[in-house]
A = this chain, B = another copy of it.
Amino acid sequence: MSNKKEIQRKRIMKFFIDAAKEIIKEEGVKGLTARKIGDRAGHSYATIYNYFSDIKELLAYCVFDFLEDCYQYMIGFKNENLNCIDQIIVYTDAYFKYFIEKPDMFQLIFIEDLGNIPIELLKREKKLSIGVLLKECICRCAEEGYIEKENIDVIYNLLGSSIHGKLVFLVNKRDVKSADDMLLELKSEIEFLMKIKR
């Protein structure tokens, strides 16, 4: 049965993916090698190439799993009692610190070369992604009169790009600013965008 085969295939793929994820968690992306993955998965390293076109493709699967992890972590910071602006600050703070503590994860999720990621995966990922949480908040800010409805998108884009832009500079050591400095900047950017101090 083609179905049975497919289940087996998926299972073995998962062995490799999980092995790779463990190694990445322990040694970072740069510590990952085909041979280590094979060892940890209990197979030969050459077997990997029966399931993935190359290591980049395997890495892409890891990335989507890790993004899912990050999303789950972020959901833990949802707090209905919070004012919408404070909720944005809490999310931003959590997200920023998440990657400051796991710079390798940032490297992997946003920077590492993954070859050609299938566009469907990207679109799927976008729906159940961290961006959604942020957008919810911003929409609430519009409903509660902090910002204009027509500006929801532009503010969302600004904030999202700004967070990742800062993380790039921090993670890749292209700026003298500290993580704390950047977090303060980010907070004042949010307050500025939400008109609080104007």
Chain A residues in the interface with B (C-beta under 8 A): 110-114, 116-117, 119, 122-123, 126, 148, 151, 154-155, 157-158, 160-166, 168-169, 172-176, 185, 188-189, 192-193, 198
Known: A110-B172, A113-B172, A154-B188. 8 other contacts (CB 8 A): A110-B168, A122-B176, A148-B198, A161-B164, A161-B166, A162-B162, A165-B165, A165-B166
Which of B154, B166, B169 interacts with A189 by CB under 8 Å?
A: B154
A165 touching B176, Cβ below 8 Å: no
- Chain B's closest residue to A116 (CB) is B173
Interface centre among A110, A119, A164 (most CB of B within 10 A): A164
The secondary structure that dominates the A interface is: helix
Please list 6 pairs of residues, one from A and one from B, whose beta carbons are closer than 8 Å in the complex, sorted by A's number: A114-B173, A122-B175, A151-B198, A154-B185, A158-B189, A161-B161
